[in-house]
Chains A and B, each alone.
Chain A
Amino acid sequence: MPLEKKGQPMGKYKYDVVIVGGGPAGLSAGIKLVEKGFKTLLIERGRFCGAKNLFGGIIYTSSIKEIVPEFPEVDNFPAERPVTEEGYFFISKDGVVKILHTKRDPKESYTALRAKFDAFLSDYAIKKGLDIAVKTRVLDLIWEANKVCGVIVDRPTSLEDKTPASIEAKVVVLAEGVNRVLTERAGLVDRTVEPSEVVLAVKEVLQLPKGEMEARLGLGENRGLAIELMGEVTLGLPGTGFLYTNKNTLSFGVGIFLNKLMDLNLKPYEILERAKALSYLRELFNGAETLEYGAHLIPEWGIKAFPKLFGNGVLVVGDAAGLVNPLFREGTNLAIYSGLMASEAIKFAFEKGDFTEKALKRYEELFKESYIYKDMLMIKDLKAILLSNSQLFQVYPELMYQICHLYFSAQGRAKRDVIREILAIIRRKRGLLGLVRDFLKLGRILW
């Protein structure tokens, strides 16, 4: 039960809206709110927005344009390379099968690093009039008559007043990320996150000797790769890896469901070290220096386990809500859209002069009208299927490699024999029935 906190000295800090968390969700909500004329404060724990944030990372022009219409024609361009080729690498112990697609419009998406991208958004937001308090942690929500009406932060109020600063607000937007402590405090979800609901992603930024990245990946200037890695790279566990090209560095990482890591007692760095030892990646990263190392949880609890998205005086956006589509690699995107929808709902609440659930329900309505809701429904069983069908990650990448190997080195043999051998491998590895079943399972998600 939320704690009633009455009699707090109010008045020094008074805002229309307070946003907790300076990621894309919080920042886009903030930008839109100040544009609509609301006095808004965003509170960020890190040294700057982006300091504590991590993603794979690709940013999509269409969603960014919603908050920065002039993007990508901006000063201090916050991204690395345009994504000109995208695809999947199926990695087995022996080698790799690559599926690559050259994109028609290179301005559609870019590889990016969060420290830079979020800092760009925050600069943009400050210029628009958003107040941002960095290095400040929200300790608790302030309640009045069962409605959230502000936050208390760890910093003292002023030089003279040493008590933790209280900030009054009509609406508090929780953009606190996967570790959704305040969402729990707000009573919007009644339990902490389970290990089976989150993916632990571990990422390195690697630098190869000058020119080597371009040479090894066949990259031209201002061209970029965004690759998802499947198979042995996650040690055959449910999860994926990724490989994105930045200006002069590579972002490489692996994400695996946390419960699986716990079962196997695997340390985050061990996952990456093992992945990097695979023949294909070992060659690719030969001579590389690790510039950055990071890890982050990805909220993959799915729509079935969503917190309530709104309460009296409070909304939840971005990762804190679980707005991630792992199948289509959307996270940042969804965070931005949720920030936009939250700002719309808040505008609606101000028009009504009502900041209770009744008016803020507008946010959920907007969400349900959006494509995100449809997508989240579509993948609602994805987590369960992935977690209970390890063969998808173990068998298929290996199978693909062996089939390709036989097909491409079939010279000097009767081709019918080769095809027979391929079918025999399939039968041995998965069985034709199993193959059909797996396809049906995945098909059920997609159709």
Chain B
Amino acid sequence: MLNILVSIKQVPDTTNIRINPDTGTLIREGVPSIINPYDIVALSLAYQLKLRFKAKVTVITMGPPQAKNALKEAVEFGADRIILLCDRKFAGADTLATSYTLAEAIRFLQREELFDLFLFGKQAIDGDTAQVGPGVANRLGIPVITYVVKIENLDPIHRKIVVHRKTEKGIEVLEAPFPILLTCEKDLSPLPFVPLENILKAQRAEPETFNAEGPLSFQRDKLGLKGSPTQVKKVYTPELKRIGKIYNLDDVSLDDVVSKILDVLRERDLL
């Protein structure tokens, strides 16, 4: 049986994100939380693998109590076990503290059962660092393949996987034995239309909650804000500078505008 761990993050829906100009912080009010879209890809992949192979899927997240909703949604994707890392002491974590906390929790879970595949989104859309997946792999001492765009082959018997990885120069085709951590690019897996059974199951699902006190022990100084060397000094929206001229077709004729555009393009030797 394939044993899969998926790590997800609940993020504000950044399609309509706003920043408070006075404080420089995110306005969270009225902004719905969603599962990070790349993590949805990871969940979708786990779902597809579950359809094809016999697989068990464990989903973990770290976040405030409402992150529970992200885990419930993970059950729609067929998660068999959901775990919430939730404690005030975990709060304010940067990527270093986050990967420490996640890696410790995963290590704890691995005392019971070893995972073959670790699926992470390539990055979260609120921080965009792409560091947590590799950070966890490093701490667990397992190999990592980032920016995976395709699973070419997965062989549960010989326990290995062949994947395509996107790089700046092109696609790398890599083969790796289990265990392996993959970070998922958006085209890796289509979004499944999950059965009613899963939807109903998700509604009543309750995660197991781990906090700073247990069931595992953490090094306090590596948790949350304390364990985070990154300090956010300022967040701001870069000013949009429009240098283009706008002509209103009520004032100027279309022909005039077209010839003006042509003039500018010629002026700059673009035509």
A interface vs B, CB < 8 Å? 13, 41, 113, 115, 126, 131-136, 153-159, 161, 165, 205, 210, 248-249, 289, 291-292
Q: Given contacts A155-B194, A210-B22, are A131 and B30 in contact (CB under 8 A)?
A: no
**Shortest distance between the CB of A245 and any CB in chain B (Å):** 15
Contacts of B204 in A (CB 8 A): 126
Taking a contact as CB atoms under 8 Å apart, the answer to whether B30 and A165 are in contact is no
Q: Given contacts A205-B30, A292-B30, are A158 and B199 in contact (CB under 8 A)?
A: no
Q: A134-B199, A156-B196, A158-B195 are in contact. List 4 more A-B contacts (CB 8 A).
A: A157-B196, A159-B197, A249-B30, A291-B18
Taking a contact as CB atoms under 8 Å apart, the answer to whether A136 and B30 are in contact is no
Contacts of B78 in A (CB 8 A): 159
Count CB-based A-B contacts (< 8 Å).
54
Taking a contact as CB atoms under 8 Å apart, the answer to whether A131 and B51 are in contact is no
With A and B bound together, what is the CA distance between A126 and B29 in angstroms? 24
Taking a contact as CB atoms under 8 Å apart, the answer to whether A165 and B196 are in contact is yes
| In the A-B complex, the 5 residue pairs with the closest CB atoms | A165-B196, A155-B196, A156-B195, A158-B197, A158-B195
Contacts of B114 in A (CB 8 A): none
Contacts of B199 in A (CB 8 A): 133-136, 155
CB-nearest residue of chain B to A13? B196
B interface vs A, CB < 8 Å? 16, 18, 22, 29-30, 32, 50-51, 78, 193-200, 203-204
With A and B bound together, what is the CA distance between A131 and B196 in angstroms? 12
With A and B bound together, what is the CA distance between A93 and B253 in angstroms? 33
Contacts of B195 in A (CB 8 A): 155-159, 161, 165
CB-nearest residue of chain A to B194? A155
**Shortest distance between the CB of B203 and any CB in chain A (Å):** 6
Select one of B16, B18, B29, B196 contacting A136, CB under 8 A: B196
Q: Given contacts A126-B203, A131-B203, A159-B78, are A248 and B196 in contact (CB under 8 A)?
A: no
CB-nearest residue of chain B to A51? B32
**Shortest distance between the CB of B207 and any CB in chain A (Å):** 16
Taking a contact as CB atoms under 8 Å apart, the answer to whether A133 and B203 are in contact is yes
With A and B bound together, what is the CA distance between A165 and B193 in angstroms? 13
**Shortest distance between the CB of A122 and any CB in chain B (Å):** 10
Contacts of B194 in A (CB 8 A): 155-156
With A and B bound together, what is the CA distance between A136 and B195 in angstroms? 10
Taking a contact as CB atoms under 8 Å apart, the answer to whether A133 and B193 are in contact is no
Contacts of B196 in A (CB 8 A): 13, 133, 136, 153, 155-158, 165
Select one of A131, A156, A157, A158 contacting B193, CB under 8 A: A156
With A and B bound together, what is the CA distance between A252 and B78 in angstroms? 42
Taking a contact as CB atoms under 8 Å apart, the answer to whether A159 and B51 are in contact is yes
With A and B bound together, what is the CA distance between A378 and B195 in angstroms? 47
With A and B bound together, what is the CA distance between A248 and B51 in angstroms? 47
Contacts of B51 in A (CB 8 A): 159
**Shortest distance between the CB of A142 and any CB in chain B (Å):** 15
Contacts of B16 in A (CB 8 A): 291
**Shortest distance between the CB of A9 and any CB in chain B (Å):** 13
CB-nearest residue of chain B to A156? B195
User: Can you report 18 residue pairs joining A to B where beta carbons are below 8 Å apart?
Assistant: A41-B200, A126-B203, A131-B200, A133-B196, A134-B199, A155-B193, A155-B195, A155-B196, A155-B199, A156-B195, A156-B196, A158-B196, A158-B197, A159-B78, A165-B195, A205-B30, A248-B29, A291-B30
CB-nearest residue of chain B to A292? B30
Contacts of A113 in B (CB 8 A): 30
**Shortest distance between the CB of A291 and any CB in chain B (Å):** 6
Interface centre among B29, B196, B197 (most CB of A within 10 A): B196
CB-nearest residue of chain A to B197? A158
Contacts of B30 in A (CB 8 A): 113, 205, 249, 291-292
Interface centre among A126, A133, A248 (most CB of B within 10 A): A133
CB-nearest residue of chain B to A133? B199
**Shortest distance between the CB of B16 and any CB in chain A (Å):** 8
Contacts of A210 in B (CB 8 A): 22
